[in-house]
Amino acid sequence: MNIGTVFLVGAGPGDPKLITVRGREALATADVVVYDRLIGAELLTHVRADAEKIFVGKEAARHALPQDEINALLVEQALAGKSVCRLKGGDPFVFGRGGEEALFCRAHGVPFEIVPGVSSAIAAPAYAGIPVTQREVATSFAVVTGHTKDDEAPPENLPVADTIVFLMGVRALPKIVRALRAQGRAATTPVALVRWGTTTDQQVVTGTLETIEGDVERAALKPPALIVVGEVVNLREQLQWFDNPVTRPLWGQTIIVTRAREQASGLVEGLQQRGAKVLQCPTIRAEALEKFTVVDDAIARLNGFDWVVFSSANGVAHFWNRLQHAGKDARALAQSQIAAIGPATQQALAARGLNADFLPSVSISETVADELIARGVAGRRILLARAMEGREVLEARLRQAGAEVLLAPCYRTLTDNSNVESARAAIEKGEVDWVTFSSSSTVTNFLDALGRNFIAEHRACFRVACIGPITAQTAAENGLAPDAVAESAGIEALIAALEKTS
């Protein structure tokens, strides 16, 4: 009988980038993924499309699936010959009940592998600027569960350590405070609670054993959070980095990105590096054409074109796919000059070993046309590699200037409504600060997807940022007059406009 392996994988404390390389490998190759509530949603994008995902999330007093049933599920799936990734928050052996699951597998003859994870006991304080140890301040630390099996009280006989980290202890905070005071800790002992540590929802409340209960109540802080007790808490004043609005100027801002998912990574990354919480709501997606007759014919006779103009990064990607399909590579473009409509397109070309010979001063079709015409295009043969849909300005102006233009659609754009409900709910709750638009189609598709009446009713709830003047004009014409417009059509320029206006 073929028996699969159970991988007990620590997903880390919340930031999806903190999963280990081995953890991501196990996640990406598993037939079945069994995951908890505190798993970063982005991690599930690494799961194979044909893999089964089973949610068994748990929180205090509410279990989607009891532990004994989770144990049985892991064994059942493995005995069916499947590779099972048991994805657990933090580290599987730090109050993660990974030991119970491993022992159950062992008892039933199922092989298992432990993949340690970054524990929230260390990571969440670190993201709050609190080291759990520090020379001359704390030479020892202990990690303690915030409640015992009955979910009522902290454990008795608390350990003696310079720093104590309590996991899952928010509800038991008053009893923890009393226990620490009874143990001899001074009323002035610093305390911090870190909620949703390592994520852009991170919330930190600091105080002392004397004040912390009131501090937490005033902050309305709720689980999940951990408690850090000890002098190291005072170091947050100097070491606060992750939730620091000075070094991360978009901290606390929730920003909707409407850019196509396959193009959004650079913008999302840049916003997150500056502290923003990003909600992806792609309104368009790129899809290959059913027939590539025109572009394939153009690729067969590329040496006959003086210029090849790429109007988007997607155009580069899909054109490159057809180039490779024809058994060719970058050398096929050696006789042509290459134009990119903007920095993102230029980068897409560079990633494939192609240097753009021309980049316009402003990334709009009108400027591309004017500046190409200034170089002399009369009698030149120009290939436009772009989407099936799009503005005709560039083609028309080049023809008027005497160029012979071949329009070669490489892909088409379709409406993407994959995360519309989440975006609508966030706007309705007043949780969104900005909505960003990277093209005119993202504006109109966003309005159509969420509903024009809905957006009109909630327009005062968020601000609008646009990547360029054409997009800004479309937004304004549709009742979304922009509050910020990038000075140039690039991701960094858009982020700079957001920083300047926030």
Could you give the residue numbers annotated as active site?
36, 58, 168
Q: Is it true that the peptide bond before 224 is cis, omega within 30 degrees of 0?
A: yes
Closest to 203 in 3D by CA, of 8, 17, 39, 14: 14
In whole angstroms, give the CA distance from residue 137 to residue 235.
Answer: 10
- Residue 161: phi and psi, rounded to 5, are -150, 155
End-to-end C-alpha distance for the chain, whole angstroms: 61
In whole angstroms, give the CA distance from residue 359 to residue 372.
Answer: 10
In whole angstroms, give the CA distance from residue 255 to residue 257.
Answer: 6
Q: Which tokens go with 458? A: 């909630």
Q: Which tokens go with 77? A: 């799936």
Q: Which tokens go with 138? A: 């704390």
Q: Is 136 helix (H, G, I), strand (E, B) or coil?
A: coil
In whole angstroms, give the CA distance from residue 401 to residue 276.
Answer: 45
Closest to 467 in 3D by CA, of 345, 383, 374, 370: 345
Sign of the four-CA dihedral 448, 449, 451, 455: negative
- Residue 317: phi and psi, rounded to 5, are -60, -45
Residue type, 409: P
Sheet holding 190-195, edge to edge: 141-145, 163-167, 225-229, 190-195, 203-208
Asked whether the beta carbons of 80 and 4 are under 8 A apart, the reply is: yes
> Which residues, including other chains, have CB under 8 Å from residue 114's CB and lie 6 or more apart?
8, 92, 93, 98, 102
Asked whether the beta carbons of 437 and 446 are under 8 A apart, the reply is: yes
